Structure 1
Amino acid sequence: MAVKSLQYKQHTFSISYEIINPSSHIDLIFLHGWGSHKNLMKHAFGAHLKQFRHIYIDMPGFGNSTCNMALTTEDYATILESFLSMIEADKTVVLGHSFGGKVATLLQPDVLVLVASAGILVPKPFKIRAKIALFKVLKLTGLTHLRRFFVAPDAQGLSQPMYETFKNVVNEDFTEKFRAFKGKALLCFGAQDTATPIWTAYKMAELMNQSRVVEFDGDHYFFLEQGATVAKEIEKTVLESLEH
């Protein structure tokens, strides 16, 4: 594990990362999902794709990377652009899981690998909509001290900057961002995923000209057990990209 410090909007960020296969010549950058860390991605893919230089990154506020200001998804992309420049990494292939998929899209790599990516708004179940409506009523009556009972699981235990960041990024519609992506895209999604349902993958594919969807058996974290199969799809996509 290594750490680099960089400045962004008068704040210092320490970015933790790890590089595997350092002598390989094609960079493959891994971006984890919300609430996760680089080691999860390394667990899934570290033993595969040996022809690539793996770059595993803890995004600001997660794992061993710091964050003391509220960020947007665009901020994450800008910070990572600076970081990748610092370590002299190319954006040849960028893989993003869930929230990381949105950041990966903004980086505009040659090959984009979206693994159960967020970005297409999914209607909230009635139970969640009812909780939101009830909390709004409680705010009007001054009972905001009950907030902890209404906070989404992904927002629990966060520092104030990261809670504000969560509110900034949780309900983003990335439709136009996907439409603006001009590279080649591989979309790997779990058929039983309820967080980023399989239909959202096909919606993304409609928006991106050079894309294909591969369905896997499993949920939002299907890749943890099927890293080798996902790796083969990545190799196939990158090879096709290099041939054109």
Structure 2
Amino acid sequence: MALTQIYYQNSAFPISYELHNLNAQSPRGVLVFLHGWGSNKELMKLAFGQSFRDYVHLYIDLPGFGLSANEQILHTRDYACIIESFLSYIRAHFSALDSQEFIMVGHSFGGKIATLLAQKSLILLSSAGIITPKPFKVRAKILLAKLCKRLNIGAKFLRSQDAHNLNEAMYQTFKNVVDEDFSEVFRQCQACAYVFWGKDDRATPLSSGENIAALLPHSQFFALEGDHYFFLKQATSIESIYHNAIGA
């Protein structure tokens, strides 16, 4: 594990990261793994650490998660700018990687950041970014929370599970990013996109994946067995499908 500081809008952001397979001979690129909300690089490493062995792996804790502390209120595009600066740091400090293609791999919230950063290749894993109707129970909690706020009544117990145990900056960040419509971002992405989804995903339903794949100009869609974290048991299949898709 390594830690560096990235400066963005006059603030310092510590970024915790790990590089794997640096000694690989003639690597086929650098896979940049961006985790979902509430997760960290360890989950992505657990899923993909034993696959894609002919690539360099870059695992990152996004600001506010894992070992990357954050006290600033951010939007998704801020995350993209911070990670873009971090990738420039990696290229500058690891000269062997400067000529390599950086392939963005994003799960859920990380999928939105990955889409903003992708240049040539993009791998999405049950990405967020498509707004779906909320169940009645969730809508009722939101209305009750707004009423409590208006009456100056504390209502942390009404927060989404994804918002539990967050500092105030990260809670505001969560509210900024949770219901973003990224349809236009997907539509404008020119990278070759490989969209993987869990057939039983309830957090980001299968229809969201189909919509994202339809919006992306250059995409292929693959539905695999499993839920929102299907990739934890499907890394080998994802690797095989990806290589077949790119003709490797």
TM range (shorter): over 0.9
Q: Is the partner of 1:87 in helix, strand or coil?
A: helix
Gaps of 5+ in 2: 92-96
2:227 counterpart letter in structure 1: D
Counterpart of 1:144 (choices 133, 147, 153) is 153
Question: Which string of whole-angstrom CA distances, capped at 9 and with x for unpartnered residues, describes residues 6-29 of structure 1?
Answer: 211111111111011103431110
Question: Which string of whole-angstrom CA distances, capped at 9 and with x for unpartnered residues, describes residues 95-153 of structure 1?
Answer: 0000000000000231111101000001100111111122223333x2522x1221000
Counterpart for residue 16 of structure 1: 16
Q: CA–CA distance in 1 between the matches of 2:165 and 2:39?
A: 13
Q: Is the aligned partner of 1:220 residue 2:228? A: yes
Gaps of 5+ in 1: none
Counterpart for residue 29 of structure 1: 32
Identity percentage of aligned residues = 46
Q: Is the partner of 2:142 in helix, strand or coil?
A: helix
Q: Is the partner of 2:131 in helix, strand or coil?
A: coil
Query: Are 2:75 and 2:176, in contact at CA under 8 Å, matched by a contact in 1?
Result: yes
Counterpart for residue 161 of structure 1: 169
Counterpart of 2:187 (choices 179, 182, 192) is 179
Q: Is the aligned partner of 1:52 residue 2:62? A: no
Q: Is the aligned partner of 1:118 residue 2:118? A: no
RMSD value, Cα? 1.3
Q: Is the aligned partner of 1:129 residue 2:139? A: yes
Q: CA–CA distance in 1 between the matches of 2:201 and 2:153?
A: 33
1:120 counterpart letter in structure 2: I
Q: Is the partner of 2:64 in helix, strand or coil?
A: coil
1:66 CA drift (Å):
1.8
Q: Is the aligned partner of 1:73 residue 2:82? A: no
Question: Which string of whole-angstrom CA distances, capped at 9 and with x for unpartnered residues, describes residues 160-203 of structure 1?
Answer: 11111101100000000000100100110011101111111111
1:65 CA drift (Å):
0.8
Counterpart for residue 105 of structure 2: 95
Query: What is the correspondence of 1:191-210 to structure 2 with a 5 Å cutoff?
Result: 191-210=199-218
Q: Is the partner of 1:33 in helix, strand or coil?
A: coil
Q: CA–CA distance in 1 between the matches of 2:45 and 2:148?
A: 43
Q: CA–CA distance in 1 between the matches of 2:89 and 2:152?
A: 47
Q: Is the partner of 2:77 in helix, strand or coil?
A: helix
Q: CA–CA distance in 1 between the matches of 2:224 and 2:217?
A: 22
Residues 1:154 and 1:192: Cα distance change in structure 2 (over 3 Å)? same
Q: Is the aligned partner of 1:86 residue 2:89? A: yes
Q: CA–CA distance in 1 between the matches of 2:130 and 2:140?
A: 22
Q: How many residues are aligned here?
A: 238
Query: Are 1:101 and 1:118, in contact at CA under 8 Å, matched by a contact in 2?
Result: yes
Q: Is the aligned partner of 1:106 residue 2:95? A: no
Question: Which string of whole-angstrom CA distances, capped at 9 and with x for unpartnered residues, describes residues 8-67 of structure 1?
Answer: 111111111101110343111000000100010000001010110000000111111121
Counterpart for residue 3 of structure 1: 3
Counterpart for residue 94 of structure 2: none
What TM-score comes out, normalization by structure 2 length?
A: 0.92
Query: Are 1:188 and 1:213, in contact at CA under 8 Å, matched by a contact in 2?
Result: yes
Query: Are 1:3 and 1:14, in contact at CA under 8 Å, matched by a contact in 2?
Result: yes
